[in-house]
Structure 1
Amino acid sequence: MLKSELKAEEYRARARAASLAADGAPLARTKEQHQLAARTWSDLAAAEEARAAGSRARRERQEATNTEQPQGTK
């Protein structure tokens, strides 16, 4: 698993925790702050997932390039 995938999982967990905190917040301002935190963690998770997808695509292209070349001619 890529580091960015691990970060994305952690950020998603933090977003869920912030969302739950928002649901249980009795004060409007506190609720807004938790909702903002949840959105921020979700955005960070999405960025890490995009980074992971890009890394996987680059790795696949590199592997395809390496298999197309004859042995010893890199």
Structure 2
Amino acid sequence: MNRNQPLFIRNDGKYFITNEDAKKWDQEQYNPEETRLPTLMELEKEDRLANEKVIENLSPEKRQEYE
């Protein structure tokens, strides 16, 4: 990750970059051993999928509270 690019941090301590920076990163050749930080949308999607997984594993009575 280019240290000159701005990083942002969520309340839960996870870092993310802007969509524009992610697009630039994806279009350019970088060291394959480096990984780019996720975008805010990617983090939110990851959180949503994790929450859905938790809800799926709840008992039917508890699951109704979320539906």
Same fold (TM over 0.5): no
Choose between structure 1 and 2: higher strand proportion.
2
Choose between structure 1 and 2: higher helix proportion.
1
TM-score by length of 2: 0.37
TM-score by length of 1: 0.34
Greater Rg, structure 1 or structure 2? Answer: 1
**Structure with greater contact order relative to length (CA < 8 Å, sep ≥ 6):** 1
